[in-house]
Amino acid sequence: MIKPLGWGLGAKARYALLVLTFFGCYLARHYHPEWTPAAQGIERVIFTAAAIDILWMVQQWLRQRWAALRQRWETFRRLTDEAPYLEPEAPGVSRETVDATDVSTSV
């Protein structure tokens, strides 16, 4: 298995590592021109790792949104299946008379 740069680190530590490495490449290109090809290769790796990390975060966010949407849909379906207002009522009986409590006789 190929492990990405910063495997096992938290998000902030991964980004700090990427920024520090990128800054190191900038310094190497600026102060040691003979290292420019290697520094450019490392910068490409950094940009690729950052793009993969961003795409992974987007995928996780979409997966969470999809799971939440499915859960809401299942809850909606369950509630509509169990909803009492969908049951047919007997003719001549209204819901208000069945559910109302007679306050005058209760003490």
Q: Compute the distance between CA of residue 105 and CA of residue 60 in angstroms, rounded to an integer.
A: 60
- Entry pTM: 0.50
Task: Please give the average per-residue pLDDT across 35-56, as a whole number.
Answer: 82
Residue 95 has pLDDT above 70, yes or no: no
% of the chain residues with pLDDT over 90: 13
Cα(34)–Cα(104) distance, rounded to whole angstroms?
A: 98
* Residue pLDDT, tens place only, 8-34: 777 778 778 778 888 888 888 888 888
Answer whether 58's CB lies under 8 Å from 64's CB.
no
Angle at 85 between CA 82 and CA 89, to 5 degrees: 115
Task: Indicate if the pLDDT at residue 74 is higher than 90.
Answer: yes
Mean pLDDT, the chain, whole residue set: 76
Q: What is the distance between the alpha carbons of residues 13 and 19, in angstroms, rounded to a whole number? A: 10
